[in-house]
């Protein structure tokens, strides 16, 4: 199979298209003919090894996982002996804990996959797991967002609402019954409103920590506002959740922030993936693919993600 690989840390120039053996599958694994894989900031950080702690996961000197790409979608080419939920020919999507999506085939555990709804493309499906699981778990589990039986809906602020995770968070917060304000650059405001935001704030001119009513949940994909100011911007029971963005902030808050100021990294969860599938199938969740690249242009796709400013997901199609 053809795969976009890298043997050392660096800029996208280190990406090399190579012929590799087909992945082997265990009893509980599914071999997927990859049709699309999302390119995210996680891939970018693994490529450039920033922060340095990436090397403890990916290897100090030798790259342990030469094929990046966590969120993917495709067709089942083979199944392990104990696989029960999928058969050859099924269209599936999911998140591979070991990456491998930037290749023509990938081996993924059955537990990390769901059937792709017919109404969405492989690109949309590939864009869903990483962003969707992060948004859902950040809002519901860490942020403890819950609909109120009476009274006004909870107020949610999504910082970085124009990005892949931010747009997913905006949609999911609305599904969960919140009043959602998106914060991003002015050029992204139409995009944020199109994903269901009730209001938008300009990151260049609006101070969300001082000039607005307090927030029940702040989901932050950027991580630039002072932590103390973010704390003051919350309701008495409100929660601030740092996601991605500045990984050092996320890690610090995870260890020392306490219940109201938390950092989080999403974890694969079969029940949550199935919930995302339901929302995709009924149209409540509709990921936007900003741009698609061929597998041969994976380096260009990574360069696009590294540059930032994208409206929606960047996808590689195999």
As a whole-number percent, the residues of the chain with pLDDT over 70 amount to 97
The segment with the largest mean pLDDT, out of 88-97, 209-218, 234-243, is 88-97
Give the C-alpha separation, 68 to 40, whole Å. 10
Report pLDDT for 191: 93
Give the C-alpha separation, 186 to 189, whole Å. 5
Give the mean model confidence (pLDDT) for residues 37-46.
95
Residues 50-66: tens digit of each pLDDT: 888 889 889 998 999 99
What distance lies between CA 263 and its chain's CA centroid? Answer: 15
Residue 240 has pLDDT above 90, yes or no: yes
27 CB burial (10 A radius; 0-12, 13-18, 19+): exposed
Report pLDDT for 112: 97
315's enclosing H/E stretch is: strand 313-317
Residue ranges covered by each domain of the chain: 2-120+287-317, 131-264
Produce one character per residue of 214-236: b if its CB has 16 or more CB atoms within 10 Å, e if not. Answer: ebbbbbbbbbebeeeebbebbee
Residues 70-82: tens digit of each pLDDT: 999 999 999 999 9
Dihedral sign of CA atoms 112, 44, 285, 31 in order: negative
Report pLDDT for 149: 66
Residue 91 has pLDDT above 90, yes or no: yes
Q: Which two tokens stand for residue 27?
A: 């009893």
Give the mean model confidence (pLDDT) for residues 23-35.
97
Report pLDDT for 265: 86
Average pLDDT, the chain: 93
Report pLDDT for 309: 84
Give the C-alpha separation, 46 to 58, whole Å. 7
Q: Give domain 131-264's CATH number out of 3.30.420.40, 3.40.50.720, 3.40.50.300, 3.30.360.10.
A: 3.40.50.720
pLDDT tier at 247 (50, 70, 90 boundaries)? Answer: low
Report pLDDT for 245: 56
Mapping DSSP onto H, E and C, the string for 212-237 reads: CCCEEEEEECCCCCCHHHHHHCEEEE
pLDDT tier at 195 (50, 70, 90 boundaries)? Answer: confident
Give the C-alpha separation, 178 to 143, whole Å. 12
Report pLDDT for 53: 82
Coil, strand or helix at 146? coil
Q: Which fold has domain 2-120+287-317?
A: Quinone Oxidoreductase; Chain A, domain 1 (3.90.180)
pLDDT tier at 170 (50, 70, 90 boundaries)? Answer: very high
Residue 182 has pLDDT above 90, yes or no: yes
As a whole-number percent, the residues of the chain with pLDDT over 90 amount to 80
Report pLDDT for 241: 95
What distance lies between CA 145 and its chain's CA centroid? Answer: 19
Residue 20 has pLDDT above 80, yes or no: yes
């Amino acid at each position: 199979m053809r795969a976009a690989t890298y043997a050392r840390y660096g800029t996208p120039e280190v990406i090399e298209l190579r012929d590799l053996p087909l992945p082997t599958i265990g009893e509980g694994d599914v071999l997927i003919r990859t049709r699309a894989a999302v390119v995210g900031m996680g891939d970018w950080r693994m490529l450039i090894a920033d922060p340095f702690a990436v090397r403890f996961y990916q290897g100090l000197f030798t790259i342990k996982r030469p094929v990046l790409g966590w969120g993917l979608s495709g067709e089942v080419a083979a199944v392990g002996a104990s696989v029960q939920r999928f058969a050859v020919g099924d269209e599936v999507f999911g998140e591979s804990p070991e990456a491998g999506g930037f290749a023509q085939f990938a081996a993924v555990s059955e537990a990390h996959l769901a059937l792709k709804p017919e109404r969405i493309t492989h690109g949309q499906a590939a864009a869903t797991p990483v962003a969707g699981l992060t948004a859902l778990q950040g809002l519901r589990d860490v942020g403890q967002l819950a609909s109120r039986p009476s009274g006004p809906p909870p107020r949610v602020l999504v910082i970085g609402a124009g990005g892949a995770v931010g747009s997913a968070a905006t949609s999911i917060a609305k599904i969960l019954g919140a009043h959602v304000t998106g914060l991003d650059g002015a050029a992204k405001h139409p995009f944020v409103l199109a994903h269901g935001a009730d209001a938008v704030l300009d990151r260049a001119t609006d101070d969300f920590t001082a000039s607005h009513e307090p927030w029940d949940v702040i989901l932050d994909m950027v991580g630039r506002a002072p932590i103390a100011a973010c704390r003051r911007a919350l309701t008495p029971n409100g929660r601030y959740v740092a996601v991605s963005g500045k990984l050092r902030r996320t890690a610090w808050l995870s260890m020392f922030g306490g219940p109201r100021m938390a950092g989080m990294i999403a974890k694969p969860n079969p029940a949550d993936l199935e919930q995302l599938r339901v929302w995709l199938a009924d149209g409540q969740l509709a990921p936007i693919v900003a741009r698609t690249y061929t597998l041969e242009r994976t380096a260009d796709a990574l360069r696009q993600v590294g540059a930032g400013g994208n409206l929606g997901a960047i996808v590689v199609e195999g």
